[in-house]
Structure 1
């Protein structure tokens, strides 16, 4: 975003990964980085780790479920635009609102927990 300030940037992260770097929202607001949209795939879990436990530990989950958290509300606290999306049919409209907000935006997209294909592939290769 800093290299090409006029370009639209979309960052997609899981809720756990986003929480690790949520303080970056302060930086985006302070530097006035517009046209920046964070899409949080929120399944209330450390998805990669939970998927590994599901596949290789007989669904014995240990410390992988995250509490319900409103990332959109938190984003607003930093001075960003924030919106929760619960209906897949609303993603396009929410994205348009975020794009037109005139400030950094966070879309907190609620999703179900499913084992991602990348995790299945990594497991089959013995990486997990």
Structure 2
């Protein structure tokens, strides 16, 4: 889906241009959140199939309680690499996502495509500032 100039922040923050996710709350300075960086590799010919699998449930994931951002991407530095940037209001919200049908469905497609185990780094974070 092509995005227009100015839509980047809406896309990253898990919103479509028409509005905000019903579960999205304002991120306030100092409030804790969970950030996860997930990276994995597939054979180069399967990258688009893997990205399509991630995007198939993106809208449902972005609408989940506590989801602040769900951003799948192709790694521009690795022809076999993909990743997902996650921002969640809490570890509990992230755990609910990881137990969700959308996660299970996506994982059932991605796991057989992976050439090695995924690496998921999870961070407790606090917002310092938002710069527009």
Shorter-chain TM range is under 0.3
More helix by share: 1
User: Rg bigger for which structure?
Assistant: 1
More strand by share: 2
Relative contact order (C-alpha < 8 Å, sep 6+): which is higher?
2
TM-score (norm 2): 0.23
